[in-house]
Chain A
Amino acid sequence: MMQSFPELTIGGVLVAPFVIYAAAATAIFALLRPFLHFVGFERAFSNPPVAELSVYVLILALLIVLF
């Protein structure tokens, strides 16, 4: 089955679905940040930036797969 992607049109300009996914993933990641701090996410990894980037990529991939 082919997956259909949501399309956003602003003033007649078509915005690529990936942009919407990336923006939504950024928003979700921003909301998750206090929780990550609360559970001590940074302390669990030797390179927290790469771990956080991986979380972002996971959210992005999940959004693309699910919606």
Chain B
Amino acid sequence: MGDERITRDLPGLGPRWQSVRRTVTIAGFPLSAWAFALRIWAAMMLGLYAAFWLQLESASSAAITVGILALQTRGQTYQKAVYRVLATIIGVVASFVIAGLFPQTRELFVIGFAGWLGLCVYVGGLLDGNRAYGAILSGYTVAQVAVTQIDAPQNIFLSGVNRGAAIVVGIAALALVSDVFAAPNVYTGLIGKLTAAHQRVRAFALAILRGESAHPIQSANLLREITALHPDITALVAESSGGGARVAAARSAAVALVAEISAASALASLPAATSPSLRKALGEALADAFGEESRTLQLRLQRHADIGDASPHDALFARHALDLLIENRRAQDAIEDLQAGRYPARRIQAPIYRSRRAAARNGLRAFLVVLISAILFSLGGWPFASQGVALVGITIALSATTPNPSAFAAGAVIAMPIAALLAGVTEFLILDGVDQFPLLAIGMAPSVLAAALLFTMPNPRLASIAFLVLVFFPVILSPTNPQSYNPETYLFSSLMAIAAVILLFVLLRTVLPTSDALRRRWYLTSARAEMRDLMAGGRSRRLDDEALFRDADRIGQLVALEPAADDAGRDDLRQALNIFGRAASVRRVWTSLAELSARLGGRLVGEAYAALAACDPLGLRRAAGDLASTATQLDHDGQAAARAAGLDLIWAAFLIEASPFGLDPQRTTTS
């Protein structure tokens, strides 16, 4: 079934054709890269032609839209397109409001624009993927619609409508080309990534069962690999009529994989000599790829939990082994659901973590950079100064959605002169006064194809530069009907664009730069603060596994940072993983105590709540002992619930005692 579905990704063509697409190369690029580049060029030309035919004023926006939406899969393209339309509408409305609030006062207008952009960058900082892009686009649409019309605010409405129309034309062209020429689907790639991640998680668990210690970088990289799939998962919904089911299945798989890593790490925390026979059986069940052995062991472990165990370590091992098996099965089932396009058994969210401080700092920086650049450009007294301010606004907003804004700005400093040069060569050497559309299409082909081909390269730096060239080449060339071929306009707009990115490069390094050390401190501080809240009983409305996924996302971001110079062993990761494990155990205690409390009407659990809030391992163990002795008077289900809660209390106490970083609020607030 799986193979059959994957085959359908390319109509009428089997997996053999897919491997041919990847292995046969022309000029060093695989056929799939050429297909992508030709799709982008075809869509750009179709969009331009339609915009010329409809006599839209800003026809070049259609070509720029195709450049911006040049993503390799249909789902991502459609999702970005939807956000582009919505964000443009919001941005155009914001342009009216800002222009209406500050008529005849340019200074206040620029401050209003900078404030709005800062706010949008802040909101974008709390989101990921194409959603973040949508947020910042709402901000920089004002730059394109209102700031460039600062001297003629009466044109803002017309400019907004023209831009919106050209964007819709560009989107329609790209959607048509992607559909007809069978652009790859997100879900086929995602199935491969999830399956690979699942194999690695299983190998990680098997290594732990063999007694190998889990290196923090290994665990953190696994968590990062899974949480980094989040933007792809959200893009599934736009892809097909089965997108809703697929997104639910992919989310369920990703959350189950994170929970599986958490269960494996819990097993790693227990002494290596615990339950040798169970350890061996669990290893065999995992390696057996979900045959009968796994089911038999699951039943055995469930019976184990019902009866109880004399040794707490053995009981804890059995409990986490059962979790591992359940999550392993869930992940496998969800991946199969994703392949089949059906809803999974468990519907769950996959929330992401974003640092509010980092987002606020980015927003403030965008605000300041726009203000400073506006002052500098107006002091310069150059023509096209408003275009320069708008470009700084656009590029700072775009940089805010990248993991490393300074690297983005450095890439832009390289990309902008290349785009300007290519636009100049195309306009004045290749086209040189022609006015036929086919010649324009042929003239633009080399630059567009080269940029799109380089965009498919695995090197992120090169891909980022190629993306910027793909977007800014039509911006500077600015195809119109008829083309003006005005060297002065070209010279000024290119110089302004290059000056804008150089200014951005300098300002990003001087105005509120966010170092990795600062980010690391924020991430760890937020993890500790949330841990303290959790201990004190401040639980979120999220399910335990959802909260676990969010914590995993934070670790994924932490591992992506450059390690500190004096921290070769990645103590930061060790600490974050430690909090990750303890938070999972405390959430579990709250859940099992809540279940028990509901069953017993609030009796027996008061002492456990107090011990947890006081972070007292002795108190937790005492509460677990009391629960065990009182549970004998309960019915069978009550006894099982009390036993589970008791084990969770012992597990929390065990982790608090074993933690080298401490947990008491006095220590953690000072760090």
A49 touches B241 (CB 8 A): no
Check B28 for interface membership: any CB of A closer than 8 A. no
- State which residues 33-63 of A face B: CB under 8 Å: 33-34, 36-37, 41-42, 46-50, 52-53
A47 touches B12 (CB 8 A): yes
Expressed in whole angstroms, the Cα–Cα distance for A33 and B180 within the complex equals 20
Expressed in whole angstroms, the Cα–Cα distance for A41 and B242 within the complex equals 9
Q: Which residues of A contact B8 (CB under 8 A)?
A: 46-48
Which secondary structure dominates chain B's binding surface? Answer: helix
Minimum CB distance partner of A46 in chain B: B11
B11 touches A50 (CB 8 A): yes
Q: Which residues of B contact A47 (CB under 8 A)?
A: 8, 11-12, 182
Mask of A9-43 contacts with B, CB within 8 angstroms, 1/0:
00001000000000000000000111011000110
B240 touches A49 (CB 8 A): yes
Q: Which residues of A contact B178 (CB under 8 A)?
A: 49
B242 touches A37 (CB 8 A): yes
Mask of B176-218 contacts with A, CB within 8 angstroms, 1/0:
1011101000000000000000000000000000000000000
Q: Which residues of B contact A42 (CB under 8 A)?
A: 240-242, 341
A53 touches B179 (CB 8 A): yes
Check B537 for interface membership: any CB of A closer than 8 A. no
B241 touches A36 (CB 8 A): yes
Q: Which residues of B contact A50 (CB under 8 A)?
A: 11, 179-180
Expressed in whole angstroms, the Cα–Cα distance for A47 and B10 within the complex equals 7
Q: Which residues of B contact A49 (CB under 8 A)?
A: 74, 178-179, 182, 240
**Also in contact, A46 and B241, with CB within 8 A (given A37-B341, A53-B176, A53-B179):** no
Q: Closest CB-CB distance, A42 to chain B, in whole Å?
A: 5
Expressed in whole angstroms, the Cα–Cα distance for A47 and B183 within the complex equals 11
Q: Which residues of B contact A52 (CB under 8 A)?
A: 179, 240-241
Minimum CB distance partner of A33 in chain B: B241
Expressed in whole angstroms, the Cα–Cα distance for A49 and B341 within the complex equals 15
Q: Closest CB-CB distance, B237 to chain A, in whole Å?
A: 10
B240 touches A48 (CB 8 A): yes
Output the residue of B74, B241, B244 with the most chain A CB within 10 A: B241
Output the residue of B12, B242, B243, B341 with the most chain A CB within 10 A: B242
A13 touches B161 (CB 8 A): yes
Expressed in whole angstroms, the Cα–Cα distance for A49 and B8 within the complex equals 11
Q: Which residues of A contact B240 (CB under 8 A)?
A: 42, 48-49, 52
Tally inter-chain residue pairs, CB-CB below 8 A: 43
Expressed in whole angstroms, the Cα–Cα distance for A57 and B225 within the complex equals 40
Mask of B529-542 contacts with A, CB within 8 angstroms, 1/0:
00000000000000
Which secondary structure dominates chain A's binding surface? Answer: helix
Q: Which residues of B contact A33 (CB under 8 A)?
A: 241, 243-244
- State which residues 372-389 of B face A: CB under 8 Å: none
Expressed in whole angstroms, the Cα–Cα distance for A46 and B14 within the complex equals 11
Interface residues on B, range: 10 to 19
Mask of B158-180 contacts with A, CB within 8 angstroms, 1/0:
00010000000000000110111
| Residue among B175, B179, B180, B245 making CB contact with A37, cutoff 8 Å | B245
Expressed in whole angstroms, the Cα–Cα distance for A33 and B78 within the complex equals 15
Q: Which residues of B contact A41 (CB under 8 A)?
A: 241
Q: Closest CB-CB distance, A28 to chain B, in whole Å?
A: 13
Minimum CB distance partner of B158 in chain A: A13
A34 touches B244 (CB 8 A): yes
Expressed in whole angstroms, the Cα–Cα distance for A49 and B174 within the complex equals 13
Output the residue of A13, A33, A49, A53 with the most chain B CB within 10 A: A49
Q: Which residues of A contact B182 (CB under 8 A)?
A: 47, 49
Expressed in whole angstroms, the Cα–Cα distance for A42 and B161 within the complex equals 36
Expressed in whole angstroms, the Cα–Cα distance for A47 and B7 within the complex equals 10
Q: Which residues of A contact B12 (CB under 8 A)?
A: 46-47
Expressed in whole angstroms, the Cα–Cα distance for A29 and B243 within the complex equals 14
Expressed in whole angstroms, the Cα–Cα distance for A49 and B242 within the complex equals 11
A37 touches B11 (CB 8 A): no
Q: Closest CB-CB distance, A49 to chain B, in whole Å?
A: 4
Q: Which residues of A contact B241 (CB under 8 A)?
A: 32-34, 36-37, 41-42, 48, 52
Expressed in whole angstroms, the Cα–Cα distance for A50 and B244 within the complex equals 19
Expressed in whole angstroms, the Cα–Cα distance for A64 and B575 within the complex equals 63
Minimum CB distance partner of A32 in chain B: B241
Q: Closest CB-CB distance, B72 to chain A, in whole Å?
A: 15
Minimum CB distance partner of B342 in chain A: A37
Mask of B24-61 contacts with A, CB within 8 angstroms, 1/0:
00000000000000000000000000000000000000
Minimum CB distance partner of A41 in chain B: B241
Q: Which residues of A contact B179 (CB under 8 A)?
A: 49-50, 52-53
Q: Which residues of B contact A36 (CB under 8 A)?
A: 241
Expressed in whole angstroms, the Cα–Cα distance for A42 and B12 within the complex equals 14
Mask of B220-253 contacts with A, CB within 8 angstroms, 1/0:
0000000000000000000011111100000000
Q: Which residues of A contact B244 (CB under 8 A)?
A: 33-34, 37
Expressed in whole angstroms, the Cα–Cα distance for A32 and B74 within the complex equals 20
Mask of B259-282 contacts with A, CB within 8 angstroms, 1/0:
000000000000000000000000
Minimum CB distance partner of A39 in chain B: B241
- State which residues 616-630 of B face A: CB under 8 Å: none
Minimum CB distance partner of B157 in chain A: A13
Expressed in whole angstroms, the Cα–Cα distance for A20 and B244 within the complex equals 26
Expressed in whole angstroms, the Cα–Cα distance for A41 and B182 within the complex equals 17
Q: Closest CB-CB distance, A21 to chain B, in whole Å?
A: 13
Expressed in whole angstroms, the Cα–Cα distance for A46 and B12 within the complex equals 6
Expressed in whole angstroms, the Cα–Cα distance for A33 and B178 within the complex equals 19
Expressed in whole angstroms, the Cα–Cα distance for A54 and B156 within the complex equals 37
Q: Which residues of A contact B11 (CB under 8 A)?
A: 46-47, 50
Expressed in whole angstroms, the Cα–Cα distance for A58 and B54 within the complex equals 23
Expressed in whole angstroms, the Cα–Cα distance for A42 and B242 within the complex equals 8
What are 6 A-B pairs at a CB distance below 8 A?
Answer: A32-B241, A42-B341, A47-B182, A49-B74, A53-B176, A53-B179
- Mark B residues whose CB is within 8 Å of A: 8, 11-12, 74, 161, 175-176, 178-180, 182, 240-245, 341
4 closest A-B pairs by CB: A47-B11, A36-B241, A49-B179, A33-B241
Having A33-B243, A48-B241, A53-B179, one finds 9 other A-B pairs with CB under 8 Å, namely A33-B244, A37-B242, A47-B182, A48-B240, A49-B74, A49-B182, A50-B11, A52-B240, A53-B180
